[in-house]
């Protein structure tokens, strides 16, 4: 395909369709942390403060200069430690040229997967989407995406779709396992069929797509695998038992995949990305109210997608965890059980699903 950027008509959302919110609604801990990351906690800015003090002929023995220098050295050390840690954990980045890559996205008609697919489609990348939803051929052509109607919970359908993708686009080198469904039922109200369906789509489909596409990556000697899990995989939640259990399984699957790839000499250039978002503003959790908009804001697919695309195109492995609390949730499990209980109680997370309108308590499809 041509490497030129395709012009696509876009209709922006109407402002008056959204409820007016007070200014403090948009003030979140994530925003504060973001600003601090580019100011007080940034090594370059920290050294600029030192230089400014010296420009004012501040003596080295003055306490303010000593504090500024100590802070700048601390921020520099933390930054270097982070870079070294990532290199040890994930290795060197691989070279990525979108013209030479074939991208496969499961559940890519709408939500996060749809955003990623359309973004790469606008950039004329070789993009294939697996989804149960059918897309009109004219719409697919306008978006520059090849859609394959496929139920990823069915291994035979995935294998057949994989063969078609290879014939149409070439060997897949980037796999984004995004398909997922949720059902808001208690454990006692769930049937065996409900739980099985959720696990087949959310968990077993990952095994199927990995078996279908990773052999091509090994043959090509390069690739990127994105696993979309959830922060609830670390936490669990009332009335979301099947969903949270299926996402927790993906956390273990991701680590097992990394371990197996590390043992394969042909997989040195295959990168892995784990995505553990908090509540996203998609149809999947329509009606769920976040316990705290300040501490646990709802993230948009664009925010998650931006970080996924950045890692993919830099050829790096890594983790994407938004909002901020998602990065530190694993620490909760190391705290005393009493503290864990109080955090869950104060956050109100186990009551969030119970507040959904009963009319909305139905199976929500792909992200």
How far apart, in Å, are the Cα atoms of 297 and each of 30, 283, 340?
8, 16, 20
Question: With contact defined as beta carbons under 8 Å apart, do 202 and 246 qualify?
Answer: yes
Burial 251-262 (b: 16+ CB within 10 A, else e): bebbeebbeebe
Among 120, 147, 216, 243, the one annotated catalytic: 243
Is residue 148 helix, strand or coil?
strand
Residue 337: both structure tokens together: 């059980």
Question: Has 243 been annotated as catalytic?
Answer: yes
Question: With contact defined as beta carbons under 8 Å apart, do 135 and 109 qualify?
Answer: yes
- Alpha-carbon dihedral of residues 85, 90, 96, 100, nearest 10 degrees? 180
Q: Cα(114)–Cα(117) distance, rounded to whole angstroms?
A: 5
Helix axis angle, 301-314 to 111-122, nearest 10°: 50
Question: With contact defined as beta carbons under 8 Å apart, do 114 and 133 qualify?
Answer: no
How remote is the C-alpha of 193 from its chain's centroid?
28
In angstroms and rounded to an integer, the radius of gyration of the C-alpha atoms of the chain is: 23
Closest CA to 258 of 320, 331, 318, 178: 318
Instruction: Provide the β-strand partners of residue 131.
Output: 149
The DSSP symbol for 299 reads B
Give catalytic residues, as residue numbers: 243
């Amino acid at each position: 395909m041509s490497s030129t950027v395709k012009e696509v008509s876009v209709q922006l959302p109407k402002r008056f369709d959204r409820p007016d919110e007070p200014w403090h609604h948009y003030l979140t801990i994530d925003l504060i942390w973001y600003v601090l990351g580019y100011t007080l906690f940034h090594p370059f800015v920290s050294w600029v403060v030192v230089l400014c003090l010296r420009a004012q002929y501040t003596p080295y023995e003055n306490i303010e200069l000593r504090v500024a220098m100590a802070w700048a050295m601390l921020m520099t050390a933390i930054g270097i430690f982070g870079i070294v840690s990532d290199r040890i954990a994930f290795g060197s980045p691989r070279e990525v040229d979108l013209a030479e890559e074939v991208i496969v996205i499961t559940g890519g008609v709408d939500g996060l997967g749809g955003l990623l697919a359309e973004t790469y489609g606008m950039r004329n990348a070789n993009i294939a989407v697996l989804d149960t939803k059918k897309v009109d051929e004219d719409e697919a052509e306008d978006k520059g995406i090849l859609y394959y109607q496929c139920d990823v919970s069915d291994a035979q359908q995935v294998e057949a779709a994989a063969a078609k993708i290879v014939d149409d686009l070439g060997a897949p080198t980037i796999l984004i396992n995004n398909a997922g469904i949720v059902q808001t039922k208690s454990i006692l109200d769930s049937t065996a069929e409900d739980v099985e369906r959720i696990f087949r789509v959310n968990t077993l489909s990952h095994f199927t797509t990995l078996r279908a596409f990773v052999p091509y990556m090994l043959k090509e000697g390069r690739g990127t695998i994105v696993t979309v899990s959830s922060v609830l995989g670390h936490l669990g939640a009332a009335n979301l038992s099947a969903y949270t259990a299926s996402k927790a399984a993906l956390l273990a699957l991701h680590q097992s995949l990394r371990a197996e790839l590390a043992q394969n000499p042909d997989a040195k250039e295959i990168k892995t990305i784990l995505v553990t978002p908090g509540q996203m503003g998609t149809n999947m959790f329509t009606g769920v109210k976040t316990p705290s908009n300040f501490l646990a804001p709802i993230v948009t697919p664009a925010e998650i997608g931006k970080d996924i695309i950045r890692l993919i195109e830099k050829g790096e492995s890594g983790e994407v965890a938004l909002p901020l609390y998602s990065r530190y949730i694993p620490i909760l499990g190391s705290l005393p059980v009493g503290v864990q209980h109080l955090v869950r109680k104060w956050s109100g997370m186990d009551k969030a699903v119970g507040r959904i309108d009963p009319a909305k308590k139905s199976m929500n499809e792909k992200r």
